[in-house]
Amino acid sequence: MINKPYSESCEQNREPILAVLREAFADRRRLLEIGSGTGQHAVYFAPELPQLVWQTADVRAYHPGIHAWLDEAALPNVLPPLELDVNQTHWHSGRYDAVFSANTLHIMGWPEVVRFFAGVGNVLEPGGVLVVYGPFNYNGQFTSDSNARFDAWLKARDPASGVRDFEAVDALAAVRIRAGSARKSAISASAYKWLCYNKNS
């Protein structure tokens, strides 16, 4: 068995994030997590949301690490990872009444962000809920010095990545998943935000 991968960012603010998920997904039953990464979020959140069947998903390179976390936890409501690349035209993942993704949009290039929302629009059932967590700019401005430094670091490793503008993401969601205006709130004292969308029928 491989050593479990570990991400510090998965541990940060997980309690406030859980509070958001409890509210947003209170009456949801089937959730797709896009970009499960190490698998830490699934292992932490799923036992606290027992009404959900939590479907992990990521590109294949992350599957061994996700399996390592899931195998150890042996949770009854978490499913093994699906292979999901947002660049795929068709996601072979089924339909869900809840979608969750954390710390992904700033890693993707903008064309991938567009494909992310197009894919979510296809798999999210009418009336379904999408929750996205990560750093966002507002009115073209960084919300903190740390976000500005983080953006510079991201662009140094991949010029296509970077902290996304909330207004651009919100407009994209409105078109791609026929969503109303996002409910949005700060998480703890950090510069990170969560966005919550309800897909119109």
| Rounded Cα distance, 151 and 199, in Å | 30
Question: pLDDT per residue over 27-44, tens digit each?
Answer: 999 999 999 999 999 999
Question: pLDDT per residue over 63-76, tens digit each?
Answer: 999 999 999 999 99
Residue 107 tokens read as 């890693």
| Rounded Cα distance, 168 and 21, in Å | 23
pTM of the predicted model over 0.85: yes
Helices 166-176 & 110-123, crossing angle to 10 degrees?
Answer: 40
Question: How many domains does one find in the chain?
Answer: 1
Residues 6+ apart with CB under 8 A from 82: 55, 56, 57, 92, 93
Q: What is the CATH number of the domain that holds 50?
A: 3.40.50.150
33: containing domain? 1-101+126-133
- For residue 35, being part of any structural domain is answered with yes
| Rounded Cα distance, 198 and 201, in Å | 9
Amino acid symbol at 4? K
DSSP class of 61: G
> Predicted confidence band at 88 (pLDDT cuts at 50, 70, 90)?
very high
State whether the Cα torsion 160-161-167-173 is positive or negative. positive
- For residue 64, being part of any structural domain is answered with yes
- For residue 158, being part of any structural domain is answered with no
Residue 164 tokens read as 């996304």
Q: What does each C-alpha distance from 170 to 20, 62, 110, 138, 164 come to in angstroms?
A: 18, 28, 13, 11, 10
